[in-house]
């Protein structure tokens, strides 16, 4: 192939991610031309509701998948935290790239941390996962809905609509906005979403030539971590309607073989019921580790918390 077309959302962050992948593809394959096909998705247009109320994570990817099905694009680049746990038939994640900082970021012009905020102060987020973890530890804070792209969310903070907001650190880093971060929230205080900080490259499963071109961009360690995290999500329902967090890290060294440490939690949106699990296993089978952690959460009452 001499040319690839990447379907991408139109937001500044999505375009950065697609351009980043385009540059890496061209560096890996001399003479390859890569073009972008910017698109608006339903998830971008519905900015007044949480995703769980509007239809879930698939709202960010359906239009991009249609472009691939119709032959208008060869691949799509996604933030892995925005990807549904199950892909539609006929599609494949051809690569998960090296992960950026997976942590959440606390942003405020008034305060240095969540602990620094007084009762009644407002925190903006659209994530049930973040909301549950914030109110569990800081029940006096008021969590309010915050939708829109990164620039829109920062503008709302700057206009004084919120005292603080929480965003993914990776997106801010990619856009050169690290200076806006007041604090990076460690996993012990705010467990990340499955796949947070990683990019996924999706294409049609039957396009072997496209899969082959994408393969050099894959990062095995990042992929193992994300696969373990996504398995927890898939086992428990796989949707952004879940206040669910999962975060895996590679541990150990080459002398003893790589191992994965996986932490996960399920919470009620009010933060009053939280169940947690942590396990470590051989990195060669991340899905098995994810299944074990999901079963741990179930034994502690995860299904009841999720209303099942």
Residues with a known catalytic role: 82
Classify residue 86 by its DSSP letter. Answer: S
Classify residue 215 by its DSSP letter. Answer: G
- C-alpha 274/C-alpha 243 separation (Å) is 10
- C-alpha 266/C-alpha 277 separation (Å) is 9
Residues facing residue 107 across a β-bridge:
165
- C-alpha 35/C-alpha 13 separation (Å) is 17
| 28 phi/psi in degrees, rounded to 5 | -80, -25
* Cβ contact 170:102 at 8 Å: yes
Element (H, E) at 245: strand 244-251
- C-alpha 53/C-alpha 144 separation (Å) is 15
């Amino acid at each position: 192939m001499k040319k690839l077309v990447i379907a991408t959302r139109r937001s500044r962050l999505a375009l950065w991610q697609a351009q980043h992948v385009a540059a890496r593809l061209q560096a890996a394959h001399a003479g390859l031309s890569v073009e972008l096909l910017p698109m608006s998705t339903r998830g971008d247009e519905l900015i007044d509701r949480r995703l769980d109320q509007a239809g879930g994570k698939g709202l960010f990817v359906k239009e991009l998948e249609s472009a691939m099905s119709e032959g208008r694009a060869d691949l799509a680049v996604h933030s892995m935290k925005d990807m549904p746990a199950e892909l539609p038939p006929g599609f494949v994640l051809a690569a998960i790239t090296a992960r950026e900082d997976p942590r959440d970021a606390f942003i405020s012009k008034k305060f240095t941390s969540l602990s620094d905020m007084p009762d009644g102060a407002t925190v903006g987020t659209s994530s049930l996962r973040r909301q549950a973890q914030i109110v569990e530890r800081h029940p006096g804070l008021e969590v309010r809905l915050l939708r829109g792209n990164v620039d829109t969310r920062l503008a709302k903070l700057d206009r004084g609509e919120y005292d603080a907001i929480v965003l993914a650190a990776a997106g801010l880093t990619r856009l050169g906005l690290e200076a806006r971060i007041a604090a990076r929230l460690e996993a012990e205080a705010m467990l990340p979403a499955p796949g947070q900080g990683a990019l996924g490259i999706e294409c049609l499963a039957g396009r072997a030539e496209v899969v082959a071109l994408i393969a050099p961009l894959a990062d095995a360690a990042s992929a193992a971590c994300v696969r373990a995290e996504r398995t927890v999500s898939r086992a428990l329902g796989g949707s952004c309607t879940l206040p669910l967090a999962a975060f895996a890290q590679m541990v150990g060294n080459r002398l003893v073989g790589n191992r994965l440490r996986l932490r996960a939690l399920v919470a009620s949106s009010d933060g009053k019921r939280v169940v947690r699990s942590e396990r470590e296993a051989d990195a060669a089978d991340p899905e098995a580790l994810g299944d074990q952690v999901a079963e741990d959460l179930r034994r502690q009452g995860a299904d009841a918390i999720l209303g099942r």
